[in-house]
Amino acid sequence: MTTETELIEQLKRGEEAAFKSIVDQWKDLVYNISLGIVQNETEAEDITQDVFIKVFENISSFKGESKFSTWLYRIVTTTSLDHLRSKKRKKRFGFLFSLSGDESYEGNQIPDFNHPGVKLDDKERAKVLFKAISNLPESQKAAFTLHKLEGLSYREISEVMNTTVSAVESLMSRANGNLRKQLEEFYKTM
């Protein structure tokens, strides 16, 4: 069995088998993190492919100062957040289309999706929660997803997001407060 360090060295030499092994080992995790952030299955699949292309192209920059998983989490989080920013720009562009009378643009709709970590009988509540998560600011959404959906500790999240543990604690506190407020409003209207 090849160790992670050996696999990374093989990948740095451009060995396809090492790349395939890394993809096989990490694809579900990358997809789940991306899905938790972008909340769209098709976009999460595209981001997963983009992440592994970035891993292949940038593996030489991995110095081993942090764990490979931390480096990978950072890539998927950044790629997912960059995708959201791009999507927001497209929504603003779509708004201009709608002002000009083009009703065919669908950039403002949030599609339904199924996160693989959610049990079937919890789908309806999860849908409400994920809608609330989608309204969080990007950094809160990333921290919340990494902690609650992926189970990372605050220290691990601080490494992924390149910030301090106290900043992550603050992000989580604000995310929890924002979600509580949104969900209280939702349940009051039911």
Q: What is the pLDDT of residues 15-44, one digit of tens each?
A: 999 999 999 999 999 999 999 999 899 999
Can you spell out the DSSP letters for 16-27? HHHHHHHHHHHH
Instruction: Indicate the range of 39-53, 98-112, 143-157, 170-184 predicted with least confidence.
Output: 98-112
Range of the domain at 130: 4-188
- Look over the chain and give the mean of its residue pLDDT values, rounded to a whole number: 83
How confident is the model over 40-98, as pLDDT tens digits? 999 999 999 999 999 999 999 998 888 999 999 999 999 999 998 887 765 544 444 44
pLDDT of amino acid 177: 95
CATH number for 137: 1.10.1740.10
Strands (E), 47-169: none
User: How many other C-beta atoms lie within 10 A of the C-beta of residue 123?
Assistant: 12
* Number of domains forming the structure of the chain: 1
Cα(110)–Cα(131) distance, integer angstroms: 8
pLDDT of amino acid 65: 86
